[in-house]
Chains A and B, each alone.
Chain A
């Protein structure tokens, strides 16, 4: 869409920022990388917190980037209704910064896992999932060592009651099972919404499932079309 410029925020150690720009441009979104120290452009009409290993995952994945000054600007923009999505390390940054509830921590396997997974679309009435129907199954890859979603019992009850689970890990038929849970996430949660539906984080990589040349799935493109 003409006029929409999405800022892909680059930290030292981000490594999916170029992929995100390429994938966004593929779906017709004007996107540019923004170095975090330069601040969020005033005309940014969307924000992507990309994947990678910001600050070398020191302390906890995403912990340092979440306290970078640009995140205060991102939180303000999010509160104003600017769409913000965090992917993988960006999801860790988003949850560490309080944009979304819960935390992402070490996979139950204690291993880095890079593999395709299936996700069930739990909400289709958000900008991120308008391309899908509720219950749709999409295939998008994960690539993380700290993707296990953890949230306290009371906060989990609130999360479910408020219908803020966006995606759950499932099998190819859409069944949400332990076997289909790649990392031990609470309630198979793969992605959640913030206080506004325009804010979301997810561990899987939609930008790696957008370009047809890249491989097996282009199911992630629908998520990025939120910015169109």
Chain B
């Protein structure tokens, strides 16, 4: 078994309104920053032990499917690194 960190990034699907991101963008603009757009995402770092990186990725993928993301509004990706 090897120790991995699986990083799951959950973001709204393209086209789904993100009022929090819009509000954040407006706040940055009020501070004088110039920007074209802003998107936000949730990142989960999951430490786990697995036989190989594929197994670690599969398990993190299932976590995203079953809880971390809501497939109606979210896309997600999983990246695995040895720790």
Contacts and interface: CB of A to CB of B under 8 A. Distances in A.
Interface string B50-62: 0000000000000
Interface stretch (B1-9, B17-25, B31-39): B17-25
B82 to A, nearest CB: 27
A27 B66 CA distance: 38
B19 A109 contact: yes
Interface bracket on A: 20 to 34
B67 A63 contact: yes
Given A59-B67, A63-B67, A67-B67, A152 B72 contact: yes
B28 to A, nearest CB: 15
Nearest to A63: B67
Contacts of A110: 19-20, 22-23
B67 A107 contact: no
B72 A106 contact: no
A155 B20 contact: no
Given A59-B67, A67-B67, A103 B73 contact: yes
Among A96, A106, A107, the one with the most B-chain Cβ atoms within 10 Å of its Cβ is: A106
Contacts of B66: 67
Given A110-B20, A148-B17, A105 B67 contact: no
Contacts of A107: 19
16 contacts: A60-B70, A63-B70, A67-B66, A67-B67, A101-B72, A103-B72, A103-B73, A105-B16, A106-B19, A106-B20, A107-B19, A109-B19, A148-B17, A150-B73, A151-B72, A152-B72
Given A63-B70, A110-B20, A155-B72, 14 more contacts: A59-B68, A60-B70, A67-B66, A95-B72, A101-B72, A105-B73, A106-B18, A107-B19, A108-B19, A148-B17, A150-B16, A151-B72, A152-B72, A184-B17
Interface of B: 16-20, 22-23, 66-68, 70, 72-73
